[in-house]
Amino acid sequence: MTEEHKGKTAENTETSEKKKEKVGPDGLTKRDRLKIKRHAMPEQAPEERITNFLSVVHGYTLEMAYEEAQRCLDCPRPKCIDGCPAEVDIPAFIMEILKGDLEESYRILKADNALPAVCGRVCPQEEQCELTCLLAKKGPVAIGRLEQFVAEYMLDKYEKEPPKVEKIIPTKEKVAVIGAGPAGITAAADLVKMGYEVTIFEALHKPGGVLNYGIPPFRMPRRILDAELGSIEQMGVDVRCNMVFGKTITHEELLEDGYKAFFLGTGAGLPTFMGIPGENANGVYSANEYLTRVNLMEAWDFPNADTPVFVGKNVVTTGAGNTAMDSARVSRRMPGVEKSYIVYRRTRNEAPARNEEIEHAEQEGIIFKYLTQPIEILRDDKNWITGMRCIKMELGEPDDSGRRRPVPIPDSEFEIECDTLLVAIGQRPNPIAMRSIPGLEISKWGTIVVDDETMMTSVPGVFAGGDAVVGASTVILAVGHGKQAARAVDAYLAEQRGGS
Ligand code: FAD
Ligand code: SF4
């Protein structure tokens, strides 16, 4: 047999084998798909992005999204859906990218998640849908990036050619949603689709919760956030800002006004402090206050925005969660800042922030001081912070959380010079809303106690979800709770009206 003949025979065998394999809408087989490499995300270069508050990631182009979508095996029993707390039909939205129908792809995303652009950008996919994707070990399908691509592509399109959105005429009872974070927004969107007359009462002057006051614009551009949040008002949800439930308006007043059910999505916005000497010094902020000033009140754009914020030359952030990474990265971008540190008592392996955020922070020149515990804030005679006394730590036996407990190393104290300290070691739920409802059961951690199935609290007709129930968590978990609670409110009100 000649070499040419052998080649032809091999080619024919491959073609006939290919014929037997399942072929996708793009004509590729599983074997073809497995050869495609995961697409990197195009980003601003670190030295450029630390000079601005523009989006760090540029997002996939149409071509990149198509090629990444080609990697999906469209598994008969897709594991990725199990990893998504909102149970988005992941393979279905990806297959629509391959068919070229981005409108349908977006419709599939929105059916299960009111905030796909947000989630595409900020979800810890590596611990959720991408972790359970069949290709996880090889390099999972970039599900989050595809979700971001589809949602932002369609939001751009709708900005130019606004779609006709039918306002849903309510036919059912009035429901009050307290808090316009991801949990409240999701519950409201689902309830309005079910025919309820939904009003959101939000304490701040803008909706979005942490998405607006905590996450900086270089991670969550406000044009995209506003477009995504705006869609719920178009559907018919009445969003009332500057309304502090428990102060401006009470549970009783809303009951008298005819509200038949309540959803508390009030988040976990109450900062925790370290409890060390000197923490009341000038120049010490809770990360929440600092981020609210910079992000929501736009101090990053001072003097164009009229919110000033004091930031010195050397800024230290304590903690290693998403809030800490955002605080340190915001500081790196603020005019006049020369050094931005993260001080954390464990190591990088235990840091709770998304891996991508830590990588971005490292690329941006944040100085990480791991295995370091602050023990005292140093001050001048006018009570301004001048530095921090710290002690070095080592990891001992695992604690209740399963993470190895940090233990101080004797005689290892040292000082870090700084003029600003941002405390980002955790948040708890704010008690204002919950204290205003008599009989509402609160846990010893200050979270609202709910029935896991129904999300109903100890007060009939009052439901809760998101960070207010679990403590500081994730956007998608809040979205999942919002969906679960909406179904439960519907079942509860149906029962109240006699099952109709
Ligand atoms: P929130 O988003 O906190 O919203 C609660 C809303 O209720 C707020 O708007 C608040 O003003 C309002 N409210 C409170 N009390 C009242 C009242 N009495 N009356 C009326 N309104 C009230 N998660 C991720 O998945 N990925 C990330 O990258 C990420 N980064 C984060 C970065 C930062 C800086 C922070 C702080 C958190 C981050 N998280 C991240 C966590 C995530 O944002 C939260 O888990 C999520 O926003 C919780 O949603 P929620 O709706 O329960 O609460
Ligand atoms: Fe596609 Fe991964 Fe989901 Fe399988 S598990 S359908 S490969 S995204």
How far apart CA 430 and CA 175 sit, in angstroms, is 22
Residue-wise pLDDT for 33-79, tens only, equals 999 999 999 999 999 999 999 999 999 999 999 999 999 999 999 99
Question: Where residue 305 falls among pLDDT bands split at 50, 70, 90?
Answer: confident
- Is residue 127 pLDDT above 60, yes or no? yes
3-state DSSP helix/strand/coil % of the chain, to nearest 5? 40, 20, 45
Count of CB atoms within 10 A of residue 10's CB?
A: 10
Q: In the structure, which protein residues have their CB atom closer than 6 angstroms to any atom of ligand 2?
A: 72-75, 78-80, 90-91, 133-135, 141, 143
Interval 124-133 mean pLDDT: 93
Residue 248 CA: nearest ligand 1 atom is 19
| Chain centroid offset of residue 472 CA | 11
Q: Which of 33, 72, 97, 130 to mutate to test the pocket of ligand 2 (most atoms within 8 A of CB)?
A: 72
- Is residue 13 pLDDT above 70, yes or no? no
Give the distance (Å) from ligand 1 centre to CA of residue 63. Answer: 34
Query: Treating both helix axes as pointing N-terminal to C-terminal, what angle do 102-112 and 90-99 enclose, rounded to 10 degrees?
Result: 170
Give the distance (Å) from ligand 1 centre to CA of residue 211. Answer: 7
Instruction: Kindly give, in sequence order, each residue whose CB lies less than 8 Å from that of residue 62, ignoring residues fewer than 6 positions away.
Output: 153
Phi, psi at 115, each rounded to 5°: -130, 60
Decide: helix, strand or coil at residue 224: helix
Looking at the chain, the number of H-run helices and the number of E-run strands are 19, 15
Query: Which of 494, 467, 495 is closest to 480 using CA atoms?
Result: 467
Say what the pLDDT of residue 6 is.
Answer: 52
Say what the pLDDT of residue 360 is.
Answer: 97
Ligand at shortest distance from the CA of 242:
1
Cβ-count burial of 327 within 10 angstroms (0-12 exposed, 13-18 middle, 19+ buried)?
A: buried
Decide whether any atom of ligand 1 lies within 6 Å of the 265 Cβ.
Answer: yes
CB-based contact 168:236 (threshold 8 Å): yes
Highest mean pLDDT among 4-18, 238-252, 485-499: 238-252
- Is residue 300 pLDDT above 90, yes or no? no
Residue 79 CA: nearest ligand 2 atom is 5
For residues 221 and 1, the model is more confident at 221
How large is the C-alpha radius of gyration of the chain? 25
Between the alpha carbon of residue 155 and those of residues 42, 118, 151, 228, 235, the distances in Å are 20, 12, 6, 8, 15
Cβ-count burial of 319 within 10 angstroms (0-12 exposed, 13-18 middle, 19+ buried)?
A: buried
Decide whether any atom of ligand 1 lies within 6 Å of the 146 Cβ.
Answer: no
Give the distance (Å) from ligand 2 centre to CA of residue 141. Answer: 7
Q: Within a 13 Å sphere around the CA of 237, how many CA atoms are in the beta-carbon half? A: 31
How far apart CA 192 and CA 55 sit, in angstroms, is 32
Average pLDDT over the chain reads: 92
Query: Treating both helix axes as pointing N-terminal to C-terminal, what angle do 62-69 and 143-160 enclose, rounded to 10 degrees?
Result: 140
Say what the pLDDT of residue 243 is.
Answer: 97
Percent of the chain with pLDDT over 90: 82
Say what the pLDDT of residue 19 is.
Answer: 53
Interval 422-426 mean pLDDT: 96
Phi, psi at 106, each rounded to 5°: -65, -40
Q: Which of 70, 129, 131, 141 to mutate to test the pocket of ligand 2 (most atoms within 8 A of CB)?
A: 141
Q: Report the DSSP pairing between strands 238-240 and 284-286.
A: unpaired
- Is residue 499 pLDDT above 70, yes or no? no
Give the distance (Å) from ligand 1 centre to CA of residue 269. Answer: 7
Say what the pLDDT of residue 159 is.
Answer: 86
How far apart CA 236 and CA 194 sit, in angstroms, is 12
Question: Where residue 307 falls among pLDDT bands split at 50, 70, 90?
Answer: confident
Residue-wise pLDDT for 356-404, tens only, equals 999 999 999 999 999 999 999 999 999 999 999 999 999 998 888 788 8
Interval 311-339 mean pLDDT: 96
Instruction: Kindly give, in sequence order, each residue whose CB lies less than 8 Å from that of residue 365, ignoring residues fewer than 6 positions away.
Output: 46, 50, 332, 340
Say what the pLDDT of residue 169 is.
Answer: 87
Say what the pLDDT of residue 84 is.
Answer: 93
Q: Which of 148, 292, 322, 450 to mutate to test the pocket of ligand 1 (most atoms within 8 A of CB)?
A: 322
The side-by-side arrangement of strands in the sheet containing 197-201 is 238-240, 197-201, 174-178, 259-264, 462-464
> Angle at the Cα of 70 (from 64 to 71), degrees rounded to 5?
100
Decide: helix, strand or coil at residue 6: helix
Token couple for 205: 């002057």
Question: Where residue 12 falls among pLDDT bands split at 50, 70, 90?
Answer: low
Q: Which DSSP helix (H) or strand (E) runs through 396?
A: strand 385-398
Token couple for 465: 């979800």
Decide: helix, strand or coil at residue 217: coil
Interval 443-471 mean pLDDT: 96
- Is residue 500 pLDDT above 70, yes or no? no
Say what the pLDDT of residue 11 is.
Answer: 52
Decide: helix, strand or coil at residue 391: strand
How far apart CA 51 and CA 414 sit, in angstroms, is 31
Say what the pLDDT of residue 1 is.
Answer: 46
How far apart CA 194 and CA 174 sit, in angstroms, is 12
For residues 400 and 423, the model is more confident at 423
CB-based contact 448:440 (threshold 8 Å): yes
Decide whether any atom of ligand 1 lies within 6 Å of the 463 Cβ.
Answer: no
How far apart CA 40 and CA 37 sit, in angstroms, is 9
Show the domains of the chain with their CATH numbers.
21-160 (1.10.1060.10), 174-269+429-499 (3.50.50.60), 273-425 (3.50.50.60)
Percent of the chain with pLDDT over 70: 96
Q: Which of 73, 84, 137 to mutate to test the pocket of ligand 2 (most atoms within 8 A of CB)?
A: 73
- What ranges in 21-101 are assigned the alpha helix state H? 30-34, 46-49, 62-69, 90-99
Instruction: Kindly give, in sequence order, each residue whose CB lies less than 8 Å from that of residue 218, ignoring residues fewer than 6 positions away.
Output: 49, 52, 53, 54, 55, 56, 329, 333
Token couple for 410: 């004797």
Say what the pLDDT of residue 82 is.
Answer: 94
Say what the pLDDT of residue 225 is.
Answer: 94
Decide whether any atom of ligand 1 lies within 6 Å of the 122 Cβ.
Answer: yes
